[in-house]
Each structure stands twice: as C-alpha cells, then as structure tokens.
Amino acid sequence: MLINGQWIQTTQTFAVTNPATGEVLESVADGSASDATAAIDAAHNAMPAWSGTTAHERSAILYRAWQLMLDAKESLALLMTQEQGKPLKAARTEVQYGADFLLWFAEEAKRLYGETIPSARKDQRFMVQHQPVGVVAAITPWNYPVSMITRKLAPALAAGCTVVLKPAEATPLCAMAIVKILVQAGVPDGVVNVVTTSNPAPVGEIFCTDKRVRKLTFTGSTPVGKKLATAAAPQLKRVSMELGGHAPFIVFADADPVHAAKGAALIKFLNTGQACICPNRIYVHETILQPFLDTLKTRVSKLAVGNGQHDGIAIGPLVNQQAIDKVSAQVTDAKNKGATVLTGGTTLSEGDYGHGHFYAPTVLADVTPDMLIYREETFGPVAAVISFNDDDDIIALANDTDYGLAAYIYTQNISTAMRTFEALRFGIIGINDINPTSAAAPFGGMKESGLGREGAREGIAEYLETKLGGLSI
C-alpha cells in the first residue's frame, strides 16, 4: 500500500491471479480499516499544501504523468492482460484512453474560472470562486483497471483534492502501477494514497463514515453503490456513482441490418461483455431480423477465445467463477423459456481453458421479457436478440428498466434518430455509433445507473465547491 509517500507491506497478504490461467502473479498487502484511516490521515494532512498549489503547477504534474503513462504503454497493457484478462490490443486501447484523462484534466486545471455577478445594490459586488471539495475516497472496478483510476484521480488532482484509492481486489497491480507513475510525475507525499484489500467492506465503511472524507466516488454495481451512498448520507458527503447498466440496442426497419449487426458484435463483446455500456437487450425490427441474426451469428462464431497474451484472441476470460455461474444461469433460464441458441451457450473448460474462466461467445434469439437476461445485467459474452414491429412501442420497451446508462440506435432517418434520442431515458446514447465515449465527453447514467458525470468539464466540477463572496464597498 502507499500511505503518505511510503510503500507499506503488511503481514497479511492476498494473491492476485491471472483469470486466464489461474497463475498467481503476486501477493499484495491486505489492508484493513486502520490502514484506511491512516491513509485518510495522510490525505487530510496533505490537503492544505496541495490545494494551495497553483493550477499551473498541478497541470504540469498531470502533463508529466500523461507522458510517462504513454511511455509505459506496452508494459501497462501487458500487466493489464495478465491481471484482468482482456486481449493485449484492447489493453493498449485502454491505456491510451486512461492517459487521455490525464491530458484532458491537465488542461482543465487551468480553466477553473470564477465569475462576478451584478448586484441590485450599488455598494455591493458578488464574486464566485471554485475550490476543491477536500479529501476524496475513490473506489475503482476490475473491468477497466487503468482508465477508471485516471478518470477519477486526474480531475480530483486537477481540482486540488487529495485522494485515497481502493482498487478492486482482483486488479491491485494495475492500480499500483498507475500510482507509481503519478509519484514519478511529482505528486507530493500524502496527496495520493492506495489501500489494497481482499475485504473491501471495512475500508468502504471508513470511507463513508470518516468526516474528513468530503467526497466519495465509486464505479461498480448498483447494489453496492446504493449501500455506499446510504452509508455516506448521514454526513451529506458528496457522492458520485457510476453503476450498472442494461443498455437497449435498437435497430429500426430502415437501418442496414449487416452494418448494425457488425456494430452490435463489437460493442456487445467489448471486454468479453464485461462493460457497463454493453447492450443487454438487442431489439431488431422483424422485417430485417433474419439478415441481422445471420451476420451476428457469423461474426460471433468466429471470435477466438483464450489467453489475451496470444495473437488473434478477441475474447478473454471472465473475472472469476461467480461470473461464469451468473452467465450460465441466465443462458439456461433463457433456453428453458424458449430462447434459441444460435451459437455458443456453453462454458469452456477443456484443454487450455481448464485453468481459467471462459464462456463461449453466445447469440440468443427469441428472447422474451420473462427471461432473467431481459432484466438482469449479464456482464458476459451473451447477445440477447428480441424482435419488434412497432416503432412507438419500442421506446417504452427500451425505457422499461431501472437502469439508465447507455443506449444505441441504428437508423438512417434523422427524424427517427432525434425523436428516439430525446425520448430514451439514458445518459449516453450512440446513434449509429458504438463508441460514444471520450475524455472530452460527459460519462454517466440516469435512474439507478448512477449520480454525477465523469470526463469533460462536468468531471472536474464533481470535485469542486462553489463559494460566493458578497463585498460591500
């Protein structure tokens, strides 16, 4: 763990394993609630000096970190593939995406503008400043173990906040690698601290209840996000939550079914389906259903599954056995209720797959609302396809979920695109676009998919307080 600039080992450790092979990569410190408190002590003590630096000083450190991260791109990608499982090509893409946040917020640090407001009184002037919220506790997930860290730490540091990070227990090595880059770039002692743990509940409780932590940022499941927000509520601690999704993917009758199916295959099987923006419900107009299914089946059946370090691999392992069990249960339930398996539908456990957590890329047709996969987030490599025939009803069907993170629309009609974009209750919508994300664009959801936004200018606002001064002259 990193606490007040010192790397600390504990007598208790836990193993970090490769999900493709079961190999133990390293053992890391197994932190406790007392370690979390010590890290908060360090962040609290470092806060006055760090918040007192100029925006240009903080910007310069983030610029250096951006360059160092790009220099280490290949080693970071390899570490991510070993620890998280995604193919090397995808890991390189994530490292670039993660570095983009360092660059973006290096620039945004210098744009924390205040303002003056006209008063109705001649002897009064109003002025507004934006100041750092204080110590930030950040909890990051395993599915994007590099970019989800920079997406939180870069704006927090740019705003002048200090941070205590608790990375996912499955991917602490990536977190430590990123923090080492920040330290090398010049982040002072105590400004960024890391607590690794195999038991996140006690650490999360300290984050929520310690009054010195003024902001909690979390990316993960909706049930855990609700628990954290509830625990933080008595102090009115500021929270931002990037939670689960259940994205609809709507293919209207006028869309090119082959083009849409290619897009669906790319985004559904992104990160082996382990992304909160992956579509869970693929709605296709009945008039173009067959060519869509034919293309989707052909492309998915060709996806190579295996260790992401090997050439040509498109689908890596799932994170653990529990993930395999969840995906398998959803597919079995769908089959029992009438769904058709066009390809896949099985756990892969023979030969080279025997030591990892692999599930065959799967396409399900004839999916209906009574199936688990229609309601529950899958977080795995299964595409569930539903046919529809009424453009008016499809909006209600797509919105019929407690989630509201991402959605996708395929149509060649601009009126259909705009009406659907405005009617869908989701925070991120791709219109003939499967990658509506960027460091420059706000990321976040509606309803039970979260609170607040990350990235863009909204991302740094999450770490700032607005202060008003009224001056009588």
How far apart CA 350 and CA 306 sit, in angstroms, is 12
At the top level of CATH, the class of 2-243+447-472 is alpha beta
Closest by alpha carbon to 406, among 423, 429, 384, 372? 429
Task: State pLDDT tens for residues 192-251.
Answer: 999 999 999 999 999 999 999 999 999 999 999 999 999 999 999 999 999 999 999 999
Distance of CA 199 to the CA centre of its chain: 21
pLDDT level of residue 391 (50, 70, 90 thresholds):
confident
Q: Are 98 and 72 in contact (CB under 8 A)?
A: no
Closest CA to 447 of 287, 246, 158: 246
pLDDT at 215 (0 to 100):
98
The residues annotated with a catalytic role in the active site are 242, 276
What pLDDT, on a 0 to 100 scale, did the predictor assign at position 367? 98
**Per CATH, domain 247-431 is 3.40.309.10:** yes
The domains of the chain are located at 2-243+447-472, 247-431
pLDDT category at 7 given cuts 50, 70, 90 is: very high
pLDDT band at 190 (very low <50, low <70, confident <90, very high): very high
Q: What is the model's pLDDT at position 230?
A: 98
Are 331 and 382 within 8 A, CB to CB? yes
Q: How far apart are CA 106 and CA 159, in angstroms?
A: 10
Residue type, 48: P
Average confidence (pLDDT) over 81-96: 98
Residue 419: the pLDDT is 97
pLDDT at 305 over 90: yes
pLDDT tens sequence across 15-55: 999 999 999 999 999 999 999 999 999 999 999 999 999 99
Q: Please give the average per-residue pLDDT across 424-442, as a whole number.
A: 97
Is residue 390 over pLDDT 90?
no
Question: For the residues 316-340, what does the mean pLDDT come to?
Answer: 97
Phi and psi for 446 in degrees, rounded to 5?
A: -105, 175
Place 153 in a pLDDT band, splitting at 50, 70 and 90. Answer: very high
Average pLDDT over residues 345-355: 95
- Which residue from 64, 79, 32, 308 is spatially nearest to 181, judged by alpha carbons? 64
DSSP 8-state assignment for residue 353 = G
Q: At what angle do helices 55-71 and 73-84 cross, to 10 degrees?
A: 70
Q: Which helix (H) or strand (E) holds 266?
A: helix 257-268
What is the model's pLDDT at position 392?
81
d(CA 94, CA 70): 11
- Mean pLDDT (whole number) for 380-392: 94
For the chain, percent of residues with pLDDT exceeding 70: 100
State the pTM of this model: 0.96
Q: How confident is the model at residue 429 (pLDDT cuts 50, 70, 90)?
A: very high
